């Protein structure tokens, strides 16, 4: 019980919620698109059932991810992927990226939501598993479930508000992308394949985390600036 009162536990909870808000925007769009042709009475049911099924599936995937992160070199691969996701988050998205077929049948819409979420959840699963590494090993899955449950209403009912805040305050997206870089740095530092060769020091852990955050910021802003002229054309 004491582990649930530690600062590292609640820091990881905060990271998971922020990750799900930032990376869950697409999922909220998918839910809306998949359920748009349902009768008004069934639309809320489709959203709730589809989201619940997607969350259960995501918890299972994250449980596997937490186990796999103990395999040597996988954390390094995961860290590289997280860096790429963070950099990608800073790039402007083209409209019309979501080619989601809707259904006028409740379970058809629910199936679409679950399948689409599964395809799109690689970034969420990897980032959340990385954030959970900061908690005690016995409570990592409980932490993941808690963080996802807390973030469900934010994604489903508050997604539009969150998206408007991101549009008005771009710093939110920048900080979120840097958070992914931070987690990537910590993941790489704790990989079993390299941990034995690195000094056991919180200073080094923070240094690699800061390096990951700065990498995402600098590379992301560089690519952002480079793509502006082509976007204007």
DSSP 169-215: -THHHHHHHHHHHHHHHHHHHT-HHHHTTS---HHHHHHHHHHHHHH
**For the chain, what's the residue count?**
233
Average pLDDT across the chain, whole number: 76
Residue in 10, 67, 15 with CA at minimum distance from that of residue 182: 15
| Residue 176 to residue 188: CA distance in whole angstroms | 19
**Is residue 43 over pLDDT 70?**
yes
pLDDT of residue 26: 61
pLDDT of residue 183: 86
Residue in 112, 97, 99, 102 with CA at minimum distance from that of residue 51: 112
| Residue 40 to residue 224: CA distance in whole angstroms | 41
Q: What is the pTM of this model?
A: 0.69
Max avg pLDDT among 40-44, 146-150, 183-187: 183-187
Residue in 167, 145, 150, 157 with CA at minimum distance from that of residue 62: 145
pLDDT of residue 195: 78
Domain count, the chain: 1
Max avg pLDDT among 6-15, 153-162, 193-202: 193-202
| Residue 41 to residue 108: CA distance in whole angstroms | 15
pLDDT of residue 95: 45
CA angle 48, 53, 58 (to 5 degrees): 125
Q: Please give the residue range of the domain that contains residue 216.
A: 2-232
CA angle 118, 123, 9 (to 5 degrees): 110
pLDDT of residue 216: 94
């Amino acid at each position: 019980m004491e582990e649930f009162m530690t600062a590292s536990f609640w820091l990881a909870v905060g990271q998971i919620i922020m990750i799900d808000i930032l990376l869950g925007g697409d999922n909220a769009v998918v839910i809306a698109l998949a359920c748009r042709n349902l009768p008004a009475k069934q639309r809320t049911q489709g959203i709730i059932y589809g989201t619940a099924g997607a969350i259960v599936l995501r918890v299972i995937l994250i449980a596997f991810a937490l186990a796999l992160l103990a395999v040597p070199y996988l954390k390094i691969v995961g860290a590289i992927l997280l860096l790429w996701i963070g950099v990608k988050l800073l790039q402007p998205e083209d409209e019309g990226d979501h080619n989601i077929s809707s259904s006028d049948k409740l379970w058809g819409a629910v199936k679409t939501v679950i399948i689409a979420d599964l395809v799109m959840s690689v970034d969420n699963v990897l980032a959340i598993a990385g954030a959970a590494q900061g908690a005690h090993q016995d409570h990592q899955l409980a932490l993941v479930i808690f963080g996802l449950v807390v973030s469900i209403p934010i994604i489903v009912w508050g997604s539009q508000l969150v998206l408007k805040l991101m549009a008005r305050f771009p710093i939110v997206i920048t900080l979120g992308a840097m958070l992914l870089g931070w987690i990537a740095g910590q993941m790489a530092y704790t990989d079993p394949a390299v941990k034995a060769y690195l000094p056991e020091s919180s200073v080094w852990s923070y240094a690699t985390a800061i390096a990951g955050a700065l990498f995402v910021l600098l590379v992301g802003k560089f690519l952002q600036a480079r793509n502006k002229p082509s976007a204007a054309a």
